[in-house]
Amino acid sequence: MTIHVTASADYGHRAFPDATGWHVDDTGQLHITKTGSGNVASFHPGAWAAVERSAESAPKTTAVVTLHTKGESSAGQKALNFIADYSDERNKAWAKYTPGLSAQMHVTDAVAERFEQGGRYLLTFQREE
């Protein structure tokens, strides 16, 4: 089971794959918990927007990537080139075993407008059954 926290713009999305629950205290602080371990994370009021629990059907590998380049592809399309963001703490675990990452996708101009060059994005790989 994973607890997902949608945080403020400064913190983005956080996932806690081994967490078993959460609660909000009297001050509005969110606490993510794990049976047998107690509190695994806390978010101050205003640092989180939503929290949800989801069952995992397959393991996920996530990485934080930066949109390195955004260029013309073909008529009405853009090529988006992403590279790993090694300044993000969440990348340390997978970077030990996968020291490099680059990904490219071609999207319509309308979709490309959603991506800002230099912006950071969470990339998730999960096997589809």
pLDDT digits (tens, 9 = 90+) for 79-111: 999 998 887 676 776 677 667 889 999 999 999
Q: Tell me what the mean pLDDT of segment 34-55 comes to.
A: 83
Q: Is 84 exposed, middle or buried (0-12, 13-18, 19+ CB in 10 A)?
A: buried
Q: Whole-angstrom Cα distance, residue 66 to residue 84?
A: 6
Residue spans of the domains in the chain: they are: 2-54, 60-126
With bands split at pLDDT 50, 70 and 90, how would you rate the model's confidence at 37?
confident
Does residue 117 surpass a pLDDT of 80? yes
Low-confidence winner among 1-10, 11-20, 91-100, 111-120 (lowest mean pLDDT): 91-100
